[in-house]
Protein backbone atom coordinates (compact mmCIF):
# COMPACT_ATOMS: atom_id res chain seq x y z
CA UNK A 1 0.00 0.00 0.00
CA UNK A 2 1.21 3.45 -0.83
CA UNK A 3 1.07 6.04 1.92
CA UNK A 4 0.87 8.97 -0.48
CA UNK A 5 4.52 10.01 -0.11
CA UNK A 6 6.06 10.40 -3.53
CA UNK A 7 9.77 10.07 -4.01
CA UNK A 8 11.65 10.30 -7.25
CA UNK A 9 12.59 6.89 -8.50
CA UNK A 10 16.28 6.13 -8.55
CA UNK A 11 17.61 6.01 -12.12
CA UNK A 12 19.62 2.87 -12.85
CA UNK A 13 22.31 3.94 -15.30
CA UNK A 14 24.15 0.66 -15.89
CA UNK A 15 24.05 -2.93 -14.67
CA UNK A 16 27.25 -4.94 -15.14
CA UNK A 17 25.51 -8.04 -13.75
CA UNK A 18 22.27 -8.88 -11.92
CA UNK A 19 22.02 -7.00 -8.60
CA UNK A 20 21.57 -10.27 -6.71
CA UNK A 21 25.05 -11.36 -7.88
CA UNK A 22 26.96 -8.40 -6.39
CA UNK A 23 29.53 -9.58 -3.87
CA UNK A 24 32.35 -8.32 -1.66
CA UNK A 25 34.77 -6.15 -3.62
CA UNK A 26 32.36 -5.24 -6.43
CA UNK A 27 31.66 -1.57 -7.12
CA UNK A 28 28.43 0.40 -6.83
CA UNK A 29 28.28 3.93 -8.21
CA UNK A 30 25.99 6.37 -6.38
CA UNK A 31 25.59 9.67 -8.25
CA UNK A 32 28.72 8.68 -10.18
CA UNK A 33 30.84 8.13 -7.05
CA UNK A 34 32.43 4.67 -6.69
CA UNK A 35 31.64 2.69 -3.55
CA UNK A 36 32.81 -0.81 -2.56
CA UNK A 37 30.49 -3.73 -1.74
CA UNK A 38 31.17 -5.35 1.62
CA UNK A 39 28.44 -8.02 1.71
CA UNK A 40 24.98 -9.06 0.52
CA UNK A 41 22.47 -11.09 2.49
CA UNK A 42 18.81 -11.90 3.06
CA UNK A 43 17.40 -9.42 5.58
CA UNK A 44 13.89 -10.86 5.87
CA UNK A 45 12.63 -14.02 4.17
CA UNK A 46 8.99 -13.62 3.20
CA UNK A 47 6.74 -16.33 1.84
CA UNK A 48 7.26 -15.57 -1.88
CA UNK A 49 10.25 -13.21 -1.89
CA UNK A 50 13.25 -12.03 0.06
CA UNK A 51 14.08 -8.59 1.37
CA UNK A 52 17.79 -8.19 0.59
CA UNK A 53 20.55 -5.91 1.88
CA UNK A 54 23.81 -5.01 0.20
CA UNK A 55 26.24 -3.32 2.58
CA UNK A 56 28.74 -1.00 0.91
CA UNK A 57 31.06 1.84 1.82
CA UNK A 58 32.73 4.93 0.43
CA UNK A 59 36.44 4.13 0.22
CA UNK A 60 37.42 7.82 0.53
CA UNK A 61 35.68 8.64 3.81
CA UNK A 62 34.71 5.15 5.12
CA UNK A 63 31.01 6.06 5.40
CA UNK A 64 28.80 2.98 5.42
CA UNK A 65 25.60 2.45 3.43
CA UNK A 66 22.95 -0.15 2.73
CA UNK A 67 21.10 -0.83 -0.49
CA UNK A 68 17.80 -2.55 0.30
CA UNK A 69 15.54 -4.24 -2.23
CA UNK A 70 12.96 -7.00 -2.72
CA UNK A 71 14.21 -9.75 -5.02
CA UNK A 72 10.86 -10.02 -6.84
CA UNK A 73 10.72 -6.31 -7.82
CA UNK A 74 14.33 -5.17 -7.79
CA UNK A 75 14.24 -1.99 -9.87
CA UNK A 76 11.10 -0.60 -8.21
CA UNK A 77 12.17 -1.35 -4.64
CA UNK A 78 15.79 -0.10 -4.39
CA UNK A 79 16.37 2.18 -1.39
CA UNK A 80 19.67 3.59 -0.11
CA UNK A 81 20.42 4.18 3.58
CA UNK A 82 23.45 5.77 5.27
CA UNK A 83 24.71 4.66 8.68
CA UNK A 84 24.55 7.49 11.23
CA UNK A 85 26.11 7.01 14.64
CA UNK A 86 26.31 3.34 15.57
CA UNK A 87 23.06 1.64 14.59
CA UNK A 88 20.80 4.21 12.94
CA UNK A 89 20.34 4.12 9.17
CA UNK A 90 18.90 7.22 7.48
CA UNK A 91 17.29 6.99 4.05
CA UNK A 92 19.03 8.88 1.27
CA UNK A 93 17.60 9.72 -2.14
CA UNK A 94 20.40 9.75 -4.68
CA UNK A 95 19.55 10.47 -8.32
CA UNK A 96 21.51 7.66 -9.99
CA UNK A 97 22.97 4.23 -9.32
CA UNK A 98 25.08 1.83 -11.38
CA UNK A 99 26.96 -1.39 -10.73
* Domain membership flag for residue 5: no
* Count of the separate structural domains present in the chain: 1
* Domain membership flag for residue 4: no
* Domain membership flag for residue 99: no
Query: How many other β-carbons are positioned within 10 Å of the β-carbon of residue 69?
Result: 20
Q: How far apart are CA 49 and CA 5, in angstroms?
A: 24
* Domain membership flag for residue 66: yes
* Domain membership flag for residue 56: yes
Q: How far apart are CA 18 and CA 35, in angstroms?
A: 17
Q: What are the pLDDT tens digits along the chain (99 aa)?
A: 344 444 567 999 999 999 999 999 999 999 999 999 999 999 999 999 999 999 999 999 989 999 999 999 998 999 999 999 888 999 999 999 999
Structural domain boundaries enclosing 60: 11-94
Amino acid sequence: MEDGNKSTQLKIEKQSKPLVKLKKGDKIFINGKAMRVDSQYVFVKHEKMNEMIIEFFNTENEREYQLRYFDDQIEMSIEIYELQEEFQYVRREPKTIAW
